Amino acid sequence: MKKSERYANIIPMAELNTKEKRLQPFSVFNQLRQTTPIRYDNSRSCWDIFRYEDIHRILKDPATFSSRRGLAIKDRETILTMNPPRHTQLRGLVNKAFTPKVISDLATRISAITDELLNVVEGTMDIVSSLAVPLPVIIIAELLGVPPEDRNLFKEWSDILVKGPDQNTDEEFNQVIAEKVRANDELNDYFARIVEQRRIEPKEDLISLLLQAEVEGERLSDKEILGFSILLLAAGNETTTNLITNAVRRVTEDRTLQQQLRGNPELIPGFIEEVLRFYPPIQAVGRIAAQDVEIGDIMIKKGQQVVSWVASANRDEAKFAKPDTFIVDRKPNAHLSFGFGIHFCLGAPLARLEGKIVIERLMKRYRDIQFVTDSEMTYIQSPFVYGVKQFTVSIT
């Protein structure tokens, strides 16, 4: 694979070269935003963009900054990598499965699963494996109509789909791509079997809905249904898992937040928004310039890769007052953690709801949640994802 074909968004940038910086990259982003707000990285063959204003502009202009990835594995397109008009058609269809009513109806189910998961822990727990991984997987599996008992498989597949090389070498990059292709093949086979079953015997689930749906008089192709199912499983899991973990991480770093939220549960939705800004589950978004375009006073050439560092935009002092301070009731809070424009995250309402319910249940059940200081914190090996692989807490 030639260097020019490597998908920059999964290659680590040289500045984040220690475990400490991967766990807390924000001072690095702040420095880069102030010194080189737009810069070309030769080692990753891409433009890095760090300012809020520039990133906002890129995300809202899909005609100029295309989502067609350098990494559309084996021509597999998903709604994430499509441009209009097909994106608009599919998005409209899938929105029907994510209406506000459907989402709010899920609240009771999310609360019940959260309680079930918490009922079996006592004393200490790893937030990631006990709660932040299983909850979104069970919800997405039930929505799609796939067996929740396969959730360990889903987690393995999701982890591989967001993985990036730990070092910027061709060897590591090619190894990660080979893993992704294999995971994609396995997921394809898995969902293809379920699609066949639903064809014969439709149920009340998303795959049955996609099979019956028509866009401008045409049914979706199997490729589109499989692509969407895989995307929903991976994207729906990984981001919500990190949102939940990052929210708990935050209340252990500043334990006054726990008293605040316990005493004023109405603050929880705003708290979740501030977690999204402060510790965004996705910290970078990749695009390709569809034509020559000027950003700031820099000319970006057609075909060049552009990586928008959302985690930097969310800390931009030109947009947010006291950006490095966590303000639980920050208003306005126009963070870019779910993207912006036509690719705004489809699952955002569901992720917000799951995050809100988890924090409500935790605050109701426990008097104090503390990070177990001698436990290990390992960053997720993916440059565009921000989260940790485990987070052990003691609960009172």
Question: Which residues 6+ apart lie within 8 Å of 123 measured at CB?
Answer: 394, 395
The CATH number of whichever domain residue 36 belongs to comes to 1.10.630.10
Query: What is the per-residue burial (b if ≥16 Cβ within 10 Å, else e) of 179-211?
Result: ebeebbeebbebbeebbeebeeeeeebbbbbbb
The reported pLDDT for the residue numbered 126 is 97
In angstroms, the CA 306 to CA 319 distance is 21
Distance between start and end Cα atoms, the chain: 52
The reported pLDDT for the residue numbered 117 is 97
Compute the chain's Rg from CA coordinates: 21
pLDDT tens for each residue of the chain, 396 residues long: 344 367 888 888 999 999 999 999 999 999 999 999 999 999 999 999 999 999 999 999 989 999 875 444 445 566 666 667 777 777 777 777 677 888 888 999 999 999 999 999 999 999 999 999 999 999 988 888 888 788 778 888 888 888 888 888 888 889 988 998 999 899 999 999 999 999 999 998 889 988 988 777 878 888 888 988 888 887 778 889 999 999 999 999 999 999 999 999 999 999 999 999 999 999 999 999 999 999 989 999 999 999 999 999 999 999 999 999 999 999 999 999 998 877 778 788 999 999 999 999 999 999 999 999 999 999 998 888 999 999 999 999
In angstroms, the CA 376 to CA 389 distance is 9
- Number of domains comprising the chain: 1
CB–CB of 391/127 below 8 Å?
Answer: yes
H or E stretch including 65?
A: strand 65-66
The reported pLDDT for the residue numbered 150 is 87
Give me the domain span that covers residue 346: 3-395
Nearest residue to 288 via CA among 276, 272, 300: 300
Beta bridge partners of 293: 300
Query: What is the per-residue burial (b if ≥16 Cβ within 10 Å, else e) of 337-361?
Result: bbbbebbebbbbbbbbbbbbbbbbb
162: number of Cβ within 10 Å: 22
The reported pLDDT for the residue numbered 80 is 64
The reported pLDDT for the residue numbered 79 is 64
Greatest CA separation for the chain = 60
DSSP letter (8 states) at residue 388: B
Helices (H), the chain: 19-23, 26-35, 52-59, 86-95, 100-105, 107-119, 127, 134-144, 151-162, 170-200, 206-212, 222-253, 256-263, 268-278, 310-313, 348-365
In angstroms, the CA 390 to CA 370 distance is 14
CB–CB of 164/10 below 8 Å?
Answer: yes
22: number of Cβ within 10 Å: 20
Q: In the chain, what are the helix, strand and coil shares in percent, each to the nearest 5?
A: 55, 10, 35
The reported pLDDT for the residue numbered 209 is 87
Nearest residue to 30 via CA among 262, 298, 357, 309: 309
Angle 177-181-182 (CA atoms, 0-180°, nearest 5)?
115
CB–CB of 391/380 below 8 Å?
Answer: no
